[in-house]
Amino acid sequence: MYVCRQAGRQAGRQAGRQAGRQAGRQAGRQAGRQAGRQAGRQAGRQAGRQAGRQVCMYVCMYVCMYV
């Protein structure tokens, strides 16, 4: 009886650990994907803004210099 109980506990622990690991991995992956998407969007927006500003500056400088 005692041996069976211990074996059951160990098996339960191992199964729990593995299930926990897998669930953690999946959750981590999903969270990573979402975070990556959001970061990508923000980075894209900022890059777009900066590029837009630079283009405006160059155009303004060009117009001011040559007109």
pLDDT at 9: 87
Tens of pLDDT, residue by residue over 12-51, are: 888 889 888 998 899 989 999 999 899 889 988 988 888 8
pLDDT at 11: 84
Q: How far apart are CA 51 and CA 49, in angstroms?
A: 5
In this structure, what token pair is assigned to residue 54? 């630079």
Helix (H) / strand (E) containing 27 = helix 2-66
Global pTM value: 0.48
Query: How far from 25 is each of 14, 31, 60, CA to CA, in Å?
Result: 16, 10, 51
CA angle 11-24-36, nearest 5°?
A: 165
